[in-house]
Amino acid sequence: MQSVPALEWHLYQQMYLIRRTEETLLDLFSQGLLFGTVHTCIGQEAIAVGVVNAIDKSKDVIWSNHRGHGHFLAYCDNIEGLIAEVMGKETGVCRGIGGSQHLHYNNFYTNGILGGTVACAVGSAMAEKKKNSGAITVVFLGDGAMGEGIVYESLNMASLWKLPVLFVLEHNQYAQTTPTSLAHTGDLSNRPKAFGIETREIKADNVISVNRLAQECVHKVRTQQKPLFITMHTYRFAPHSKGDDVRPAAEIETAKRSDPLTHMRWALAQINERRVASIENEVDMRIIEAVETVKQQLVLAPEMFFAGRQP
Amino acid sequence: MSVLLYAPMVNVNEEQMNLVEWHKQPKEFVNKGELLATFETTKSTYDFHATDPGFFVPLVEAGSQVTVGEVIAALTDQPNEDIQNLLSVETKTEEAKPQSLQQTADNRWTRKAEILAQRHNIPPQEMERRVSADNRITEEVVQAYLQQKSTTAEKQANQGFSNATERILILGGGNVACLVLDILARIPQQTAVAILDDNPALQNTTIMGVPVLGNLDRAKSLFDQNFFDKAALAVGILPTRRELFERLTTLGIPFVNIIDPSAIIGVNAGMGTGNMIMAFCRLGPESQIGDNNFLSAYVNIEHHNKMGSHCTFGPGVAMSGGVTIGSSVRFGTGIYIEPRLTIGSNSVIASGVTLTADVPDNTVVRAKANFHN
Amino acid sequence: MTTYLGSLQLHLQQLLSVDSTVLVMGEDILDPYGGAFKVTKGLSTKFPDRVITTPISEAGFIGVANGMALRGLKPIVEIMFGDFITLGADQIINYAAKFAAMYQSALEYHLVIRMPVGGGRGYGPTHSQCLEKLFLGIPHITILAPSIYHDPGLMLASAIQQPGPVLFLEHKLLYSQELITPANSPFAVNLSDESFPLVRLTNNTEKTADLTLITYGGALWLPALLQKMAEEEIWLDVLVPSSLNQKAHPTLAVSASHTGRVVIVEEGAGPFGWGAQIAYDLQHAMLNRLTAPIAVIHAENTIIPATQALEQLHLPNLQKIEQKIYEVLS
Ligand SMILES: Cc1ncc(C[n+]2csc(CCOP(=O)(O)OP(=O)(O)O)c2C)c(N)n1
Ligand SMILES: [Mg+2]
């Protein structure tokens, strides 16, 4: 039997966990148990897992966006905290107040407003640099968010002030329903070059190669103390949030042929199918248990929340 | 004596106005008080009457703009009199005083005086004659005038800018104060001006919009400063009520009856002072109560009853006719009293009792066994 | 003898000296220029690492400050003219104001955004506004506006210790003015002992006041108004809060219940402003005890003209306030 590095099993386990958790969230939504909205990263997991496993989780900072469950789970593996948050329970990471798009846990932050997170990320990089903590900041943004002016203000300042920020563009070709061709001109991945920022590009259907590239970039950002911008070409298989997909079915089917999860599962199963199955089994059980537990949990008491209200 | 006439101040906000018309011909003899000219400001027209008798000498033309204080005409003793003398005196005084005439005219009224006069409908001419030493019409001048001719009702209105209502000082800032303020909020003729309470935590706060201005000791000095007209005790506990009422009455502070508008006071019913009568109470015809009684809501004192002072009632005490009650009796909640009984002073009647027999002084009637002698 | 500007300069220096997590950011703030209104003059020379000049990217650098604040630094951001705060509105409303409550986390979060505001300089429609009303009523934002009777530097020092974002409004007419203190004022000045004090002024300590006047920030007409009203025997109880995004200070109701007559003056344009909210709060606290309706004076409901004569007419001024006072008293 060939031996597979532990990291690779771990990357697969995380991708599988993200995929199943998000599918579960969509199920809960269909059952009416989940109020609000979710944006899943089904099909894009290789980016979340590949990049987040390249950083130093003990100190590096992550800024994510509306499509942040994958980044979050790859960062802290806290299924219960996420499901509870999305289901609005007091045990959620933000006590159910933030919800799917507003997560914060240790050095991980998200916000539902597109674009502004990039400026915040530049700021946290600046703070960590001033503090000499050695931490870098990673910020995930979509092709749609590249339409916001603040992104360019941020690229400029990050480069101007030589800040350790890794920008990760998840280019999934759509912003909600709008294809990139209707929103942008020129090559998105080239834009940062105008600010003197080094760029990289990759097709993100293989978590191992995404992770290798991310490791290299993280190292570079950390040691050279300047920003770097990676464009990850990807595709989301599920709707933007729920029931709002207008893309041609054939296009989605074609894209699914390069599903990063299927690819890796196939490769690992060649080597140790039983181990793959047991990893999946364990994840499935964890998710089922988490959902059952969360269902029993309570919503934050109104007096607790409104205690923070201003007079 | 020949005199000059000056453009009057018609409206404090305007220095310029239009002299629309002269009503007399040049050299015509004018009697004092006769209509002489009409002015027009942006707001109104104003008739100008001769201040003195004399022969009319116009110095500005009809239709021209004039400035307040400007010389507009002369009234001379003799026809064809030379008025150069008069005018030169005018210019001299002008030179002597660096202030322009116009400014002097503007400054004659202080705004406060002006506003007060308007509020009391005092014709401006009345005040013009009473300027103060420095040639100004001040608040003091107007107040003095008002003082002179004021009835009692007006007197109340004259205190600075306060209202013509009875100004009530509330003693006690606890829950009972809210009861009292709630009643006062529905009585237009009475206004709570302040609350006094010994609790330091309440100082400089407001209760239902009324400021707490110090502890109870301040009542006397506030009264002496004419800050309020009458006091009301917002206290429900009998011994305290009595003690405060007696102490402050000795100091000369008058108390007021606070009567909820929903209460019914029968024909020929009477009361002393300092009584608090809450919503839906009734004082039947020919009944008399003393001072400082506290009637919670729904207390019915029937006809021909007599009651002393300092009694306190919980809600819902109903008595029949002809009952006699002493002083400082404490009634609980929900008590019925048969006709023509007598209840002695300093007694306590517990909640829920139905009284069917007289109660001597200093007796406690408990709820369990209804009282039989 | 301290000017408004001097106080700000002094306390900024002190803040940077005593707390190494404080830093200052903004456009053109480096020496020798020292900022459009000179508030940061001398600062970059003393603290080159912590005085950061930024590109013209208000949204961007407020965002950067947000990120820094979340990571434990205490940025003080200067917006060159308060009018430009619109560009940073998203970062203030959807980021800074929300972090703590949205994440339900006891974040240590300190951010002050300073900005010169107000008219009277002929700078025209986009460089003269008081736009704080855009942020009033947004929860979890502290909005401070020190007047000439406050000590702006001291307030700035307290502001940076305040949790959550603070908008710090400096009226540009005040910079050159000497601060008015109880010691040098011809009229009685009292400051409450809060960190963001309420100033109380009166033109006659012996008489009961006839009218309560409430205002904040610029209000450079105040000393003259007090004088003028004294000549007219009108006694004012003037209240000048320094913290705006909160309900009426209780003292306002205390004063109003004495006088029964209230005039509120604010420099922002048109209705729906701070004054309207204060009037609402007072009306609530007072039941029907007001003798006259509360009057609110604000700038005219149109843009601020550049030409001086019209600008004067546009903004609240001594004459308008005087007239309104007479009206309310009559
Ligand atoms: C400032 C702002 N504008 C619009 C939206 C609504 N919105 C949420 S996600 C989205 C599409 C974003 O597209 P992209 O950045 O490509 O990310 P993706 O959804 O493809 O991951 C839009 C329009 C928003 N959240 N914030
Ligand atoms: Mg996209």
Tens digit of pLDDT for each residue in A95-109? 998 999 999 999 999
pLDDT at B161 over 80: no
B151 with B225, same domain: the answer is yes
Within chain C, strands assigned E span 22-26, 51-53, 74-78, 110-117, 142-144, 164-171, 188-191, 199-202, 211-215, 236-240, 262-269, 295-299
C160 with C201, same domain: the answer is no
B175 with B196, same domain: the answer is yes
Q: Which ranges of chain A does DSSP label H, i.e. alpha helix?
A: 6-30, 45-52, 69-76, 79-86, 116-131, 149-160, 180-183, 207-224, 249-256, 260-296, 302-306
C230 with C308, same domain: the answer is yes
Contact C178, C2 (CB under 8 A): yes
Question: Higher pLDDT residue, A153 or C304?
Answer: A153
Quick: pLDDT tens for B49-94. Answer: 888 888 999 989 888 888 877 889 888 888 888 888 777 766 554 4
Tokens of residue C273, six digits: 């402003």
C210 with C318, same domain: the answer is yes
Is A109 close to C70, i.e. CB distance below 8 A?
Answer: yes
Question: Which of C254, C287, C326 lies closest to B208 in CB terms?
Answer: C287
Burial class (CB in 10 A: 0-12, 13-18, 19+), B123: exposed
Confidence band, pLDDT 50/70/90 cuts, at residue A303: confident
Q: Which ranges of chain B does DSSP label H, i.e. alpha helix?
A: 84-96, 101-107, 111-119, 124-128, 139-148, 152-158, 175-184, 218-224, 238-250
| Residue at C183 is within a domain | no
The answer, yes or no, to whether any atom of ligand 1 lies below 6 A from the CB of A171, is no
B44 with B131, same domain: the answer is no
> Can you name the residues that pair with A166 across neighbouring β-strands?
A138, A228
Quick: pLDDT tens for B198-253. Answer: 999 988 788 887 888 889 999 998 888 888 889 999 998 989 999 999 999 999 99
pLDDT at B274 over 90: yes
What type of residue is A203? K
Q: Which ranges of B52-133 does DSSP label H, i.e. alpha helix?
A: 84-96, 101-107, 111-119, 124-128
Confidence band, pLDDT 50/70/90 cuts, at residue B102: very low
B107 with B92, same domain: the answer is no
| Residue at C176 is within a domain | no
Q: What CATH number is attached to the domain comprising B108?
A: 3.40.50.20
pLDDT of residue B247: 93
C69 with C155, same domain: the answer is yes
Q: What CATH number is attached to the domain comprising C202?
A: 3.40.50.920
Cα-trace Rg, chain A: 19
The answer, yes or no, to whether any atom of ligand 1 lies below 6 A from the CB of A144, is yes
pLDDT of residue A77: 97
Tokens of residue A288, six digits: 């089922």
Shortest Cα distance, chain C CAs vs residue A216, angstroms: 25
DSSP letters spanning A20-76:
HHHHHHHHHHHTT---S-----TT-HHHHHHHHTTS-TTT-EEEE-SS-HHHHHHHH
C162 with C242, same domain: the answer is no
Of B186, B217, B250, which residue sits at a domain end? B250
Query: Domain tally for chain C?
Result: 2
B93 with B110, same domain: the answer is no
Among the atoms of ligand 1, which is closest to the Cα of residue A141?
Answer: 15
Q: What CATH number is attached to the domain comprising B92?
A: 2.40.50.100
C97 Cα–ligand 2 center, Å: 27
pLDDT at A6 over 70: yes
Distance of alpha carbon C134 from alpha carbon C129, whole angstroms: 11
C22 with C163, same domain: the answer is yes
- Residue for token pair 């919670």: B296
Tokens of residue C106, six digits: 């006891």
> How much is the mean pLDDT over chain B?
84
Quick: pLDDT tens for A39-53. Answer: 999 999 999 999 999
B67 with B112, same domain: the answer is no
Of A149-163, B95-109, B138-152, B266-280, which range is least confident? B95-109
- CB proximity list for B147: less than 8 A, separation 6 or greater: B155, B158
The answer, yes or no, to whether any atom of ligand 1 lies below 6 A from the CB of A176, is yes
B269 with B238, same domain: the answer is no
Quick: pLDDT tens for C130-161. Answer: 999 999 999 999 999 999 999 999 999 999 99
Q: List the single residue in B with minimal CA-CA distance to C290.
A: B209
pLDDT of residue A46: 98
Of B144-153, C35-44, C53-62, C90-99, which range is least confident? B144-153
Contact C273, C248 (CB under 8 A): no
* H or E element in which residue A175 lies: strand A174-175
Contact C286, C279 (CB under 8 A): no
Average pLDDT, stretch C310-327? 93
- Residues of chain B with Cβ-Cβ distance to C318 below 8 Å are none
C137 with C33, same domain: the answer is yes
A43 Cα–ligand 1 center, Å: 17
Among the atoms of ligand 1, which is closest to the Cα of residue A41?
Answer: 21
Of C105, C140, C171, which residue sits at a domain end? C171
C8 with C98, same domain: the answer is yes
In the DSSP assignment, the letter for residue A145 is G
What type of residue is B26? P
Contact C129, C117 (CB under 8 A): yes
pLDDT at C205 over 80: yes
Distance of alpha carbon B328 from alpha carbon B326, whole angstroms: 7
Chain A: residues touching C (Cβ < 8 Å):
61, 63, 94-95, 97-98, 102-104, 109, 111-113, 116, 118-128, 130-131, 137, 149-150, 153-154, 156-157, 160-161, 300, 308-311
In the DSSP assignment, the letter for residue A166 is E
CA distances to B96, B266, C3 from B302, rounded to whole Å, are: 80, 9, 74
Chains that touch B (3 or more CB pairs under 8 A): C
Distance of alpha carbon B341 from alpha carbon B319, whole angstroms: 9
Is A119 close to C247, i.e. CB distance below 8 A?
Answer: no
Of B97, B120, B148, which residue sits at a domain end? B97
pLDDT at B104 over 80: no
pLDDT at B105 over 80: no
A142 Cα–ligand 1 center, Å: 8
Burial class (CB in 10 A: 0-12, 13-18, 19+), B224: exposed
Domain A6-306 has CATH 3.40.50.970: yes
pLDDT of residue A119: 97
B151 with B243, same domain: the answer is yes
Query: Domain tally for chain B?
Result: 3
Among the atoms of ligand 1, which is closest to the Cα of residue A142?
Answer: 15
Distance of alpha carbon A66 from alpha carbon A233, whole angstroms: 18
> In terms of residue numbers, what domain contains B348?
257-373
B88 with B106, same domain: the answer is no
**Count of other CB atoms within 10 angstroms of residue C320:** 17
Chain A and chain B touch, per 3+ beta carbon pairs within 8 A:
no
C121 with C241, same domain: the answer is no
C165 with C228, same domain: the answer is no
Quick: pLDDT tens for C112-122. Answer: 999 999 999 88
Shortest Cα distance, chain C CAs vs residue A115, angstroms: 10
What type of residue is B227? F
- CB proximity list for B293: less than 8 A, separation 6 or greater: B271, B275, B276, B307, B309, B310, B311, B312, B313
C46 with C109, same domain: the answer is yes
> In terms of residue numbers, what domain contains C217?
188-329
Contact B41, B10 (CB under 8 A): yes
pLDDT of residue B370: 52
B140 with B157, same domain: the answer is yes
Q: What CATH number is attached to the domain comprising B280?
A: 2.160.10.10
pLDDT of residue A309: 80
Shortest Cα distance, chain C CAs vs residue B249, angstroms: 26
Q: List the single residue in C with minimal CA-CA distance to B209.
A: C286
Chains that touch A (3 or more CB pairs under 8 A): C
Q: To the nearest 10°, the Cα dihedral for B10, B16, B18, B23?
A: 50
C130 with C47, same domain: the answer is yes
Quick: pLDDT tens for A65-120. Answer: 999 999 999 999 999 999 999 998 999 999 998 999 999 999 999 999 999 999 99
B240 with B280, same domain: the answer is no
* Interface contact C287, partner B, CB < 8 A: yes
Burial class (CB in 10 A: 0-12, 13-18, 19+), B373: exposed
Buried b (16+ CB within 10 A) or exposed e, B90-122: beeeeeeeeeebbeebbebbbbbbbbbbeeeeb
pLDDT at C254 over 60: yes
φ, ψ at C44 (rounded to 5°): -70, -25
Question: Higher pLDDT residue, A243 or A114?
Answer: A114
φ, ψ at C248 (rounded to 5°): -55, 130
The answer, yes or no, to whether any atom of ligand 1 lies below 6 A from the CB of A67, is yes
Of B191, B222, B250, which residue sits at a domain end? B250
pLDDT of residue B168: 92
Quick: pLDDT tens for C174-192. Answer: 999 999 999 999 999 999 9
Q: List the single residue in B with minimal CA-CA distance to C233.
A: B112
Chain C and chain A touch, per 3+ beta carbon pairs within 8 A:
yes
Of C138, C171, C204, which residue sits at a domain end? C171
> Can you name the residues that pair with B203 across neighbouring β-strands?
none
